[in-house]
Amino acid sequence: MDISRTSDVWWKNAVFYCLDVETFRDGNGDGVGDFLGLSQEVDYLAGLGVTCIWLMPFYPSPNRDDGYDITDYYSVDPLLGTLGDFVEFVRIARDRGIRVIADLVVNHTSKEHPWFKSARSDRNSPYRDWYIWSDEIPESGPDDLVFPDKEKSNWEWDEEAGQYFLHRFYKHQPDLNITNPKVREEIRRIVGFWLEIGLAGFRVDAVPFLLETAGITGSMEIAPHDWLRDLRSFLGRRRGDAVLMGEVNLEYEEVRRFFGDESGDELHMCLNFNLNQALALALVREDAGALVHSLRAMPSLPADAAWANFVRNHDEWSLDKLTEAERQEVFRALGPREEMQLFGRGLRRRLPTMLDGDQARIRMVYSLIFALPGAPVLFYGEEIGMAENLDIPGRMSVRAPMQWSDGPSAGFSSAQPEKICRPIVEGKRWGPAAVNVAAQQRERDSLLNWMEQLIRKRREMPEIVFGSWSLVAVPEPSILALRYDWGSRSALVIHNLGEKPATTSFKLRPQDRPEATADILGHGKFSVGKDGTMTVELERYGYRWFRLAA
Ligand code: MG
């Protein structure tokens, strides 16, 4: 065990918190969240124990895809503030011990981006080749659609250009041509710019699409993964401790490629979509089997790489890796009505509503996510048990304004209600009167205060990400028991996914010293017999964390 290593690769033991500046806190009273408001809430996030904020896109944008359609990579959307406000925010966060990363969305631009406007207007434009054009829809090329409900093709005819252009996302988001060295140079410049003014890294949007060259006729003199490797080393030269966290929603073996070779020279982290989808199935079945299966299938990573684990994120809860029967099983239990589902592949709900507000079960799920191999990622509002607003269309249902108090507009903004940028969650049960930060700060047993404690325990247990993990065999199907060993430190985390209390027994290892077993988190009796058999009681949806002394 080498505790000094933990600060070099800080992101392995970080607690990430994803938020959208637009919906987090309005500081200037115009109804739209902004950097001024966010800066005022940095102390709230520091109090919670967050160590890295992940900002969703805050760049100038026509906002037809919630900011994932960018018109200027070197600026801040005027509605959210100025570059000056951004720098002040990053500095305040750093003072409170919080790093900041942001979405890097360079698979595509907005159709309104000056590069695209120039490209479409003239075949001789220097930007023409920054995008992908074709006189006809090519026979070969990508044929899967990201938004099958909205788009019918990956190619869109552009009257002004007199050609089709390629888009993997919406047709107002033309794909950039990464076979063009000038485009790759520009992406490097964007990365360098934000590192220079304070970002500690990026959550890289849609990485497999970014590296995909299907449909592009020009050849690329560098293999796409070699280019990602180059980008990583550029990042490291500019800021040694910076991180790249990738959105790579593929099967495990394919995701592994994006971490690079044995030395781990591409992405530092990948969001663990496979484990996330197994979680859905395990929850619904109240059976740890799907998680055990997924953990066993999880590829081993280079030494300085890690998974990022999450419960819910800003998109629908995609279940695209489950079989059709499994997906329907999850839909029936967690989102039976059609309006709760999206694209036939996911759920557009947050966790508390899906679990009918069952506090024990909600807490078990977060304890579990924090105890799985990797770093946990929270999505804003999860710490107070916020709900979705199904009246907001599509994936945006989970992106309602943060609920700060039971005051007007949930304390999110002082603007008139009609000016609030997005509908607030309504109703007696989930609206701001029932779910808000201020009330939960006062209430001792609130989810917020529990989450603060969970984060503290997780931060104190770096074994979970620096150690090697192993499954502890237990006979009860509802129980998942994991062990971590890191030098002289060992930890044991046990979760009961079932609605019935359960007691389980297993053998400790000969080197463990039973008398030194420390009870870290959770409730119930436990004992260790002379022969090294440990017996642990778990409540319904119970969770237990122990530290074992070897
Ligand atoms: Mg504002």
pLDDT for the residue numbered 3:
82
Tell me what the mean pLDDT of segment 248-269 comes to.
97
Q: Is the separation of the CB atoms in 87 and 97 below 8 Å?
A: no
417 C-alpha vs ligand 1 centroid, how far in Å? Answer: 13
What residues does the ion ligand 1 have nearby, CB within 5 Å? 26, 28, 30, 32, 34
In angstroms, rounded to a whole number, what is the distance separating the alpha carbons of residues 200 and 172? 30
How many angstroms does the Cα of residue 320 sit away from the middle of ligand 1? 36
Lowest mean pLDDT among 144-153, 192-201, 245-254, 348-357: 144-153
* pLDDT exceeds 80 at position 260: yes
Catalytic residue among 20, 26, 205, 382: 205
pLDDT for the residue numbered 403: 98
d(CA 550, CA 542): 25
Q: Where does the pLDDT of residue 550 fall: very low under 50, low under 70, confident under 90, or very high at 90 and above?
A: low
What is the mean predicted confidence (pLDDT) over 309-327?
98
Q: What is the pLDDT of residue 436?
A: 98
pLDDT in tens, 503-521: 999 999 998 988 889 999 9
401-429 pLDDT tens trace: 999 999 999 999 999 999 999 999 999 99
CA angle 278, 283, 284 (to 5 degrees): 105
Average pLDDT for residues 59-71, to the nearest whole number? 96
User: Percentage of the chain surpassing pLDDT 90?
Assistant: 91
Mean pLDDT of 316-338: 98
Q: Which position has the higher pLDDT, 452 or 147?
A: 452
Which entry of 212, 247, 266, 485 is annotated as an active-site residue? 247
pLDDT of residue 457: 97
| Angle at the Cα of 299 from the Cα atoms of 470 and 550, rounded to 5 degrees | 20
Instruction: Tell me the pLDDT band of 523, cut-offs 50, 70 and 90.
Output: very high
The pLDDT tens digits for 385-398 are 999 999 999 999 99
CA of 409 relative to ligand 1 center, distance in Å: 13
Q: Give distance in angstroms: CA of 39 to centre of ligand 1.
A: 12
pLDDT at 58 over 70: yes
Q: How far is the CA of 22 from the centre of ligand 1 (A)?
A: 8
Q: Are 402 and 385 in contact (CB under 8 A)?
A: no
In this structure, the dihedral spanned by the alpha carbons of residues 85, 90, 93 and 97, taken in order and rounded to 10 degrees, is -170
62-81 average pLDDT score = 97
* CA 58 / ligand 1 centre spacing (Å): 13
128-142 average pLDDT score: 90
State yes or no: pLDDT of 231 exceeds 80: yes
Q: What is the mean pLDDT of the chain?
A: 96
User: What's the DSSP call for residue 87?
Assistant: H
pLDDT digits (tens, 9 = 90+) for 189-214: 999 999 999 999 999 999 999 999 88
User: Quick one: pLDDT at residue 161?
Assistant: 97
Q: What is the pTM of this model?
A: 0.97
pLDDT for the residue numbered 454: 98
Residue 31 CA to ligand 1 center (angstroms) comes to: 6
For residues 257-269, average pLDDT: 96
Per-residue pLDDT for 140 more than 80? no
205 flagged as catalytic: yes
Write down the pLDDT at residue 434.
Answer: 98
Residue 149 has pLDDT above 90, yes or no: no
The full DSSP string for 89-152 is HHHHHHHTT-EEEEEE--SB--TTSHHHHHHHH-TT-TTGGGB-EESS--SSS----SSTTT-S
In the predicted model, what is the mean pLDDT of residues 490-510? 97
Q: How far is the CA of 27 from the centre of ligand 1 (A)?
A: 5
pLDDT band at 549 (very low <50, low <70, confident <90, very high): confident
Q: What is the Å distance from ligand 1's center to 412 Cα?
A: 10
Taking the centre of ligand 1 as the mean of its atom positions, its distance from the CA of residue 28, in whole angstroms, is: 5
What is the rounded distance in angstroms from the CA atom of residue 248 to the CA atom of residue 250? 6
Percent helix, strand, coil in the chain, to 5, is 35, 20, 50
What are the backbone angles phi and psi of residue 334, rounded to the nearest 5°? Answer: -110, -15
CA of 55 to the centre of ligand 1 (A): 16
pLDDT of residue 1: 64
